[in-house]
Chains A and B, each alone.
Chain A
Amino acid sequence: MTAVRAEGLTKFYGARRGLEDLDLEVERGEVFGYLGPNGAGKTTTIRLLLDLIRPTRGRVRVLGGSPRDPAVRARIGYLPGDLRLEGDERADRYLAFLGEMRGGVSRDRIRELAERLDADLSVRMGRLSRGNRQKIGLIQAFMHDPELVILDEPSNGLDPLVQQEVHALVRQVRAAGGTVLMSSHVLTEVEQVADRVGIVRAGRLVAVEEIAALRERAVRRVELHFDAPVPEDAFRDLPGVRDLKLDGTSLRCTIDGRPDALIKAAARFTVVHLVSADPDLEEIFLTYYGDEEARHHAPADA
């Protein structure tokens, strides 16, 4: 079953491109990371999924229905990227209102989430700090146990401890069979929780990959130390090995994909120390996103 399906989804703001020909499927029960720099079209996609804006072309289905249908939206939890909350009443009263709009949410559920995120609900809305406001936004996105949670840049203004708690909430939704779509321009944020990521660039989806597959394609920096100097010939022209640097007993290089050839070549010598940095999604991302040029032509996130 698909939670989100977009076909040829296109949005122009006048002549300005927000998104073009997006084909996207998010399966039920998965956490999907939606990556891209600011202005690439992430927010445009999300706002199309919630029927805030209407597509110029293409189709969008959410939870098997149209997001125009209020009954479909009742099954979605949404955290806007730039959250603004209406009115100046106490936060708990505002949350009670949102709960009522969504057909009733128990006080205990709200209190439980507030404790987990360490949010103060007695503060008036006008006096909420940025972090606290984001927490209120997260509570309302999760409180009605929606089948689909859409989070636009959820880590904005949160400290790392709270971020971990948000990840825990995301995993809980998945464990219960729900779906999460979270956007980010910070890759580490998505890396820890997402099953798959989509990379959007300048209004187009350029890649969709499983996190595990991305890791396999990852660029790795490897450092090997031997007990005696090794001949350079033994390591020259190994498949997948780049930027080779030999310095007496130590070897540094970059590996694309599998490290197999390097390991077999090194096995002939005595290895005393091996350092392999974790594959960095930032670098994978840069191979997709690549040239700086595209950054300048990217449309604004509206």
Chain B
Amino acid sequence: MPPLMRKTLRDQWRALLGWTVGVTAYLVAYMSFYPVVREDPGLYDRVAAAKFPGPLRDLMGVGDTLLGAGFLQIMLYQLVGALLFVMFAASLGARAIADPERGGTLELIVTLPISRRRLLLERFGALAVTLLLFAAATLVAMLVLNQVVGLRADAGRIAAAHTGLYLVALFFGTLTLGVGAATGRAAVRYVTAVAAVGAYTVETLGRSVAAIAWLRPLSPFHYYLDPRPLHEGWPWSYLVLVAATAAVLLASTPAFDRRDVGV
């Protein structure tokens, strides 16, 4: 592995550990609640229905039942997972170029014998790997808990949904990294946050709100949520997310290559 990528991974190690422990603790807490739901599924279905009327059900990912995959959908593979994964990815993306540039630490790195293009690529590599380790660790935790609490959803479909979360998060992390590299502004993380919230809302509320339904294909979440990977398994639409991520990376490279650093 090239030295800069290795060094970046080392610097991200603590954040990775923190996020993994935090999200795993969340999973343990909520999955341990599942046996109670299973005792009386009808009750919790009614509670959910009363709490989230109409389009809010789409927003929260509340399905017909809270049993099995329906439980997982609400707990991780909808709003919460999107929020957690995208937040972590965006923070990694901001730490790649924009933050060190504002903090002044990028100055020495840019003068090293490495091209700007390569620098950006290695930072992206570190982002992708750290996020992958995070996704893998939380997937393992999820698969174990799936058995332990007796939920017994299909492991292959859980893996498919988890991969979707990873790809959506990687897209937004790369967007943060790319916009930061192209502009050098640390405020990029807020831009991504707004973009992610907007994209999520468009995809989920767009199902029942006709006025924004046509925007759904523009939302990265569309290619993760629409094919319902937790229920249907691996979708081809993930390739769109991969392609979009590559496009963002490619588009930001010339801008970073051309501009002044640290001004």
Give residues in A with beta carbon < 8 Å to B: 13, 47, 50-54, 70-71, 73-74, 76, 78, 80, 82-89, 97-98, 100-103, 140, 302
Give residues in B with beta carbon < 8 Å to A: 3-4, 7, 10-11, 100, 103-115, 118, 258-263
B261 engages A86 (CB within 8 Å): no
Residue in A13, A80, A87, A302 whose beta carbon sits within 8 Å of that of B10 in the complex: A87
A71 engages B113 (CB within 8 Å): yes
A102 to B114 CA separation, bound complex (whole angstroms): 9
A102 to B111 CA separation, bound complex (whole angstroms): 11
A302 to B3 CA separation, bound complex (whole angstroms): 29
A52 engages B4 (CB within 8 Å): no
A89 to B105 CA separation, bound complex (whole angstroms): 14
Closest to A78 in B: B111
Main secondary structure of the interface of A (DSSP, over half): loop
A86 to B105 CA separation, bound complex (whole angstroms): 5
Q: Which residues of A contact B258 (CB under 8 A)?
A: 54
A84 engages B113 (CB within 8 Å): no
A89 engages B10 (CB within 8 Å): yes
A51 to B109 CA separation, bound complex (whole angstroms): 12
Are A102 and B112 also in contact (CB < 8 A) when A53-B263, A87-B10 are?
yes
Residue in A52, A54, A71, A101 whose beta carbon sits within 8 Å of that of B107 in the complex: A52
A70 to B258 CA separation, bound complex (whole angstroms): 15
B108 engages A80 (CB within 8 Å): yes
Q: Name 30 interchain pairs, CB-CB below 8 A, sorted by A.
A: A50-B111, A52-B261, A53-B261, A53-B262, A53-B263, A54-B258, A54-B259, A54-B260, A70-B112, A70-B113, A70-B114, A74-B113, A80-B108, A82-B104, A84-B104, A84-B107, A85-B108, A86-B11, A86-B109, A87-B7, A87-B10, A88-B11, A89-B10, A89-B11, A97-B7, A101-B4, A101-B112, A101-B113, A102-B112, A102-B113
